[in-house]
Amino acid sequence: MFPRQRLLHCNRCGHALQYHVPPDDNRERAVCTACEHIQYENPLNVVGTVPFAADGRVLLCRRAIEPRRGLWTLPAGFMELGETADEGALRETLEEAGARVRLGPLVALLNVVSVGQVHLFWRAELLHEDFEPGPESLEARLFAAEEIPWDELAFRTVRRALEHCLGGSTALLSERVG
């Protein structure tokens, strides 16, 4: 089970929260002791792309931030309120790699229950090879399949999405990772 930090105060009125199973529910929830508002806690969505150049090379970014600073990843990050998942994937690709892409199909839906996240990756076509790393990346570069630094990948979800795309599958990969 996901080890969550307990919430302390109601986001509506500021009073103390108490954890219990509300009537007509089946899970423990954070419930306000004053206004009885139920404060739901839900997973975070991480959205990104697996960007391919016309020659089949894939774009990876070397992380400039923690966690896993200095390791390679796909351009991805947390989805923002007010955007769709695919809009978030496009934004993250532009922010992290300075790359403009055309989204293809959703290729990976990876449930990272241990940290309360769902990672979504779209196969993408690089529109041009004129890109540069953003502030969260030390480097952005294209790799042929045999050049990918597999031992220097930042996250298991990145590995799974890359393996799936490079394996030639057209089906959606949906699994629990970690």
CATH of the domain at 26: 2.20.70.10
Q: What is the pLDDT of residue 5?
A: 79
**Claim to verify: residue 14 and residue 72 sit in the same structural domain:** no
**Claim to verify: residue 65 and residue 79 sit in the same structural domain:** yes
Token pair 């532009």 is found at 94
CB-facing half-sphere around the CA of 158: CA atoms within 13 A: 23
Q: What is the pLDDT of residue 3?
A: 56
**pLDDT in 10s for each residue of the chain, 178 residues:** 455 678 999 999 999 999 999 999 999 999 999 999 999 989 999 999 999 999 999 999 999 999 999 999 999 999 999 999 999 999 999 999 999 999 999 999 999 999 999 999 999 999 999 999 999 999 999 999 999 999 999 999 999 999 999 998 889 999 999 8
Chain centroid offset of residue 178 CA: 14
Range of the domain at 95: 44-176
Q: How many structural domains comprise the chain?
A: 2
Q: What is the pLDDT of residue 1?
A: 46
CATH of the domain at 104: 3.90.79.10
**Claim to verify: residue 26 and residue 65 sit in the same structural domain:** no
Q: What is the pLDDT of residue 4?
A: 67
Cα 61 to Cα 153: distance, rounded to the nearest angstrom: 10
Q: Are 147 and 72 in contact (CB under 8 A)?
A: no
Burial letters 68-103, b for 16+ CB under 10 A, else e: eeebbbbbbbebeeeeeebebbbbbbbbbbbbbbeb
**Claim to verify: residue 87 and residue 12 sit in the same structural domain:** no
Q: Are 178 and 156 in contact (CB under 8 A)?
A: yes
Cα 128 to Cα 158: distance, rounded to the nearest angstrom: 22
